[in-house]
Amino acid sequence: MHTGAPVTGTEFDTSMGPHRFRNNQRMVPASEAAWKLAGDNGMLDIRVDASNGQNRLRDVRTGHEFVNLASCSYLGLNSHSTVVEAGVTALREEAVTGLAMAEFRIRLEAARRLEEELSELFGAHVLPSISCGVLSAAVLPLMASGHLTGTDPLVVVFDRFAHFSLNFLKPIVADESLVLTSPHDDMDFLEDVCRKYPRVAYVCEGAYSTGGLANLHGIKALQDKYGMYVYMDDSHALSTQGPHGEGYARSVFRELDDRTMIVASIAKAFGSTGGIAMTGSSRLFDFLYRSGPMGWSQGLRTAAIGTTLGSIAVHRSPELGTRQRQLAENVGIFDRRMKDRGIRGTGSHIKFVPVGENEWAVELATELYRRGYYCSAMFFPVVPRGQAGIRLMLRGDMTAAMTETFVDTLEDVLDGFL
């Protein structure tokens, strides 16, 4: 009789999955041990008063004040008065939190207007959704089966460092087509696959969540040479660059066509909540709205439609460029002063400080927090085993002086730590 305890006997081994693309038996114990370590050191469940902004969060239980360097709001637009007030206004005008149903049946007129304004802002056909993860879950299986390209199935190559929300979908995609994993940003590997197979799709990030930027020119060259489909998550770069906040990927993939889709979170630097898919193909819209998670998930809630419209207004103003330039200045300060420290992410606002063991990552994060800066300790499976470290995010609502002071602190902590 089964008691609910984990089955470990060899007589049940055949009930286990093949573990081709994921293995919870290995990942869960390792990650839970790391999370417990972070929690025991007071680095989780910190409850804050955010009324003074991200540069002065206050722990409501201890009174400790600190700068939030784990936030993905890279421009600080999540607290911008125009964005916040637009969300409040939308709720008051619509007088409903949302229609609570699939958008392909009925949707608010404000949602249709939002789609048009996003498309105009970014110069592409833009499909909004409640999250970037929902978009990927809807799109990738259909891309693999050839339904986005109108072809037979495509061989799908995932970059090794592609975000968990992308790699999470490998088993589903593998039910539709051959799935391969590429060494990180390895154009030679990718070209070998393109030579071997007639239809290939590459799944990657633009700005990687643990630091580093994709080789956009190399990817574009392979696309032009072999017709490769590119599915790129640019969540960590949207809004941080480009005249209208188009992001890092669009600096090379300027004019999107039917072989390219760029998805991005609008809950990070954009300052709202949800996700968008940018494509050059208008024919995909009705199809994707009905497909998988896009069909059964709800659309953006009323407040999110409002805050997104508010952020579009900021993106159309000179303030976007001001904040982008301040972010770039902060990145330059950090890179200049920390160039010999072996920190990953040169040129990016996302930095990763590798230290090796989980305990060291937590110790480093804890000491920085004690000195007034919260940075995220990162462990397996987010990073490979034995390569734990801390991730920190620079922001455009930090002054240069604040960045200099933080680097002073980081240098002092690292000198004592190493």
Rounded mean pLDDT, 77-88? 97
> Model pTM greater than 0.85?
yes
Domain boundaries, the chain: 21-74+318-417, 81-315
pLDDT in tens, 298-309: 789 999 999 999
Q: Which residues of 395-409 are buried (b: 16+ CB within 10 A; e: fewer)?
A: bbbbeeebbeebbeb
Alpha-carbon dihedral angle through residues 103, 108, 113, 115, given to the nearest 10 degrees: -20
Per-residue confidence (pLDDT) for residue 13, from 0 to 100: 60
pLDDT higher than 70, residue 36: yes
Mean pLDDT of the chain: 91
Classify burial at 318, counting beta carbons within 10 Å of its beta carbon; exposed 0-12, middle 13-18, buried 19 or more. exposed
CATH of 21-74+318-417, one of 3.90.1150.10, 3.10.20.70, 2.40.50.140, 2.40.37.10: 3.90.1150.10
Q: Where does 81-315 sit in CATH, by number?
A: 3.40.640.10
State residue 103 phi and psi, 5-degree precision.
Answer: -70, -20
The two tokens of residue 123 are: 């110069």
pLDDT in tens, 225-234: 999 999 999 9
